[in-house]
Amino acid sequence: MSFEVINPVTGEKVTEFSAWDSSQLESALAAVAAASPAWRNTVISERCELMHKAADVLRNNKEKYAAIITQEMGKLINESRAEVEKCALACDYYAENGSAFLADEAIDSDAGKSYVAYLPLGTVLAVMPWNFPLWQVFRFAAPALVAGNSGVLKHASNVPQCALLIEEVFKLAGFPDSIFRSLMIRASQVKAVIEDPRIHAVTLTGSEPAGRQVAATAANHLKKSVLELGGSDAFIVLEDADLDLTVQNALISRFLNSGQSCIAAKRFIVVDAIAEDFIARFKAGVEALKAGDPMDESTTLAPMAREDLRNELHDQVKDSLAAGAVAVTGCEPISGQGAFYKASILDRVEAGMRAYHEELFGPVAIILHARDDADALRIANESPFGLGGSVWTQDSSRGERIARQIESGCSFVNGMVKSDPRLPFGGIKNSGYGRELSWHGIREFTNAKTIWIK
């Protein structure tokens, strides 16, 4: 088996890489296990210094790395550049704050001295997706490595060049050999890697079915896991919202990365009083998006990453239309080569339709009508997912009150949902468990060890 790089714009094969056999995988795992003890015992100031250098490598190679991201999964080149910059920001953040986040925590007890020490678990396996092929890896790797863990990566099969360049970043930054390795393995090999005693924890960003499989395997072997799964974020628009600001953010939040983001706004819950005005403005913005080559700076709508993903999205849309939803604009593929889908709005979506209950991972916004605040909140929470959500109102107290009641890992008022190294990130319900980023993220893969001395 090989990993093929297919250009989402043309559908043509760019290159391919051979999948590892069992001996290559064993060699890599053995090398990581051999390198880990010395890294664990390296003083944290040295680990932080190397993480600063990783940030420098990312920035110095921004154009090269951004072009690889766009070639492999199709996002707009300016979005790819921003992704590289965000990875560098995360590296710097943990380099600057890691020592404080992991400092011994003194606790009064019956001992002469007692405290909690945050010590590394060992080697963390990351199973990562293609939609943010650098960011979703670095948001695990930067804190995990600063904490003294080693890391191995099973990346999505359609972004092998991104997997290899991430390993390259740490090598160029001067990290010890085999402290971070990209495993060029098939999905069918992941279970055996989790079961391997040289792996001490696992983190996954991906689909709900994949999360269930990884979590079950990890639990069966009593290993820590963190899951960031799908999302169907609510975007609640109240009658007093600033519609210019709201629509501007609605367009970015839904169509960034061609809508292929777990924390994209997917369910636009609009109160009846301003629904007609909001939809008209939103439609105008959606129809102004320009599909095209993501390497062209003037393009504003990228292709989807793969044609099979586009086909799955269209099946969800067609089934919802057949059940009574209304196509405001788009709602069909763009003819011709490549995995392009029209920027779309699907209105009158109701319970029982696929678009109501499932995550639409692509450039399709759905409109849900609400009578008032309470109805909007009911609809927002009537979802199996709980990753993020936002509320749009000129009354910040009102927005905060609703935001606190949204069942999600984060809620934003008058701002689109986003990840930030300074803030913990993760979900509840079918969106997973555990937290990444902030001090919460760096402590997920540590042993909070009590030390008692008398």
Buried b (16+ CB within 10 A) or exposed e, 331-358: bebbeeebbbbbbbbbbbbeeebbbbeb
Structural fold of domain 233-420: Aldehyde Dehydrogenase; Chain A, domain 2 (3.40.309)
- Average pLDDT of the segment spanning 130-153: 98
pLDDT of residue 1: 72
DSSP 93-133: HHHHHHHHHTS-EE--SSSSEEEEEEEE-SEEEEE--SSST
| Distance separating alpha carbons of residues 168 and 57, to the nearest angstrom | 9
| Distance separating alpha carbons of residues 363 and 252, to the nearest angstrom | 11
Nearest Cα neighbor of 342 from 306, 370, 381, 301 is 301
pLDDT of residue 279: 98
3-state secondary structure of 20: coil
- The packing angle between helices 44-60 and 77-101, to 10°, is 170
Q: Is residue 397 scored above 80 in pLDDT?
A: yes
- Average pLDDT of the segment spanning 193-199: 98
3-state secondary structure of 419: coil
Model confidence band, residue 20 (pLDDT cutoffs 50, 70, 90): very high
The CA distances from residue 80 to 41, 164, 229, in Å, are 35, 17, 22
pLDDT of residue 2: 86
At position 201, the amino acid (one-letter code) is A
Buried b (16+ CB within 10 A) or exposed e, 49-75: ebbebbbebbbebbeebbebbbbbbbb
| Distance separating alpha carbons of residues 366 and 346, to the nearest angstrom | 5
- What CATH class does 2-229+431-453 carry? alpha beta
Residues designated as active site: 228, 262
Q: How many CB atoms lie within 10 A of CB 444?
A: 23
Answer for the pair 20, 178: CB distance below 8 angstroms, yes or no: no
Nearest Cα neighbor of 306 from 232, 361, 233, 366 is 361
Answer for the pair 444, 102: CB distance below 8 angstroms, yes or no: no
Full-model pTM = 0.97
Q: Evaluate whether 2-229+431-453 and 233-420 have a shared fold.
A: no
Answer for the pair 125, 202: CB distance below 8 angstroms, yes or no: yes
Counting Cβ atoms within 10 Å, is residue 323 exposed (0-12), middle (13-18) or buried (19+)? middle
Answer for the pair 22, 5: CB distance below 8 angstroms, yes or no: no
Q: Which run of H or E residues covers position 265?
A: strand 265-271
Q: What is the pLDDT of residues 198-227, one digit of tens each?
A: 999 999 999 999 999 999 999 999 999 999
Query: Mean of the per-residue pLDDT values for the chain?
Result: 97
Q: Which run of H or E residues covers position 70?
A: helix 62-73
The CA distances from residue 26 to 1, 44, 198, in Å, are 18, 29, 11
Q: What is the pLDDT of residues 242-264, one digit of tens each?
A: 999 999 999 999 999 999 999 99
Q: Which run of H or E residues covers position 267?
A: strand 265-271
Report residue 173 as tokens. Answer: 């930054």
Nearest Cα neighbor of 38 from 180, 198, 176 is 176
Report residue 433 as tokens. Answer: 């468990």
Domain boundaries, the chain: 2-229+431-453, 233-420
Report residue 438 as tokens. Answer: 């902030």
- Average pLDDT of the segment spanning 7-35: 96
At position 329, the amino acid (one-letter code) is T
